[in-house]
Structure 1
Amino acid sequence: MKVGLNRIFQFHSVIRASREVFVQPCVPTESLLRPPVLTVFPPSSAELQSNKASLVCLSSQSGPFADVTWMSGGSPVVTGISTSTAVKQPDQTFHISSYLAIQASDWNMDKVYTCKVSLGSQTAEKNIKKSEC
């Protein structure tokens, strides 16, 4: 198996039987990957009282090589992000947690935040904003 650019491919294999050569097609195992399942949590009331706020995105996916991105109002966020490495679970899924530090004032202004997780060609995203919590 070869891993690259979040895609997993099986190399074709050649089977020799007598004098004939059979080539098995190269089948992407990416088709076996399911979309990530996301849960996003709002800041705690204790955090907000201290004028700090963190959003938490928990992802459960079928492979370890997922990319997590955060967006605010549709624009990518590049600072204030802390994301764990994937942890394999007994059910053979992988869990990732990602934290986004935001301004309590932005949360109170009802800004929309999005957690987006990509695993190969499978992508899931979940929005969160104060008025929907």
Structure 2
Amino acid sequence: TGRFLCGSASQCAVFGSGTRLTVTGQPKASPMVMAYGPSQDELRTPTATLTCLINDFYPGSLDVAWTKNGSPVSSGVLTSRPVRQTDNKYSASSYLSVNSNQWGREDIFICKVTHEGQVIQKELSASQCT
């Protein structure tokens, strides 16, 4: 997998945003996505972490986005780079840190994974965890 750029050089160098080219060495595999809310112990601390685990996908590039009640969330998000597993598939994880008091019964958080044009969404809410 790589990003390739084509440019034009006259008086100014002009480049586009690039094209991703993936040469696959094995069949594509859709990710298995699991989402977890914070533990009861963690809710007694100021910060609660929502977790999205993404396993067994190929090729090894994807996008992860979080929403709260339908609105995009970018603050407090940490997403790992995909890591190659022993079977040459990939795994990754994404975490959303929120104030523990934001983990309320009314709020719905979604971890949205996009891989090879396929979208997988996992919903998390405090009401599911009681």
Name the TM tier (shorter chain): 0.7 to 0.9
- Which residue identity lines up with residue 44 of structure 1 in the other structure? S
CA RMSD, aligned part only?
A: 2.1
- Which residue identity lines up with residue 108 of structure 1 in the other structure? G
> Is contact 1:56-1:99 (8 Å) kept?
yes
1:72 corresponds to which residue?
68
Count of residues in Structure 1 that have an aligned counterpart in Structure 2: 112
1:102 corresponds to which residue?
98
Q: Which runs of 5+ in 2 are unaligned?
A: 4-17
Residues 125, 44 of structure 1: alpha-carbon distance in 2 compared, 3 angstrom cutoff = same
1:120 corresponds to which residue?
116
2:58 corresponds to which residue?
62
Instruction: Give deviations 1:71-104, integer Å, cap 9, x for gaps.
Output: 1111110110011110111122211011101122
Q: Which has the higher helix share?
A: 1
> Is contact 1:114-1:126 (8 Å) kept?
yes
Larger gyration radius, structure 1 or structure 2: 1
Residues 124, 101 of structure 1: alpha-carbon distance in 2 compared, 3 angstrom cutoff = same
Q: Which runs of 5+ in 1 are unaligned?
A: 11-28
> Is contact 2:105-2:127 (8 Å) kept?
no
TM-score (norm 1): 0.73
> Is contact 1:36-1:122 (8 Å) kept?
no
User: C-alpha separation between the residues in 2 aligned to 1:6 and 1:97?
Assistant: 22
User: C-alpha separation between the residues in 2 aligned to 1:33 and 1:117?
Assistant: 16
TM-score (norm 2): 0.75
2:34 corresponds to which residue?
39
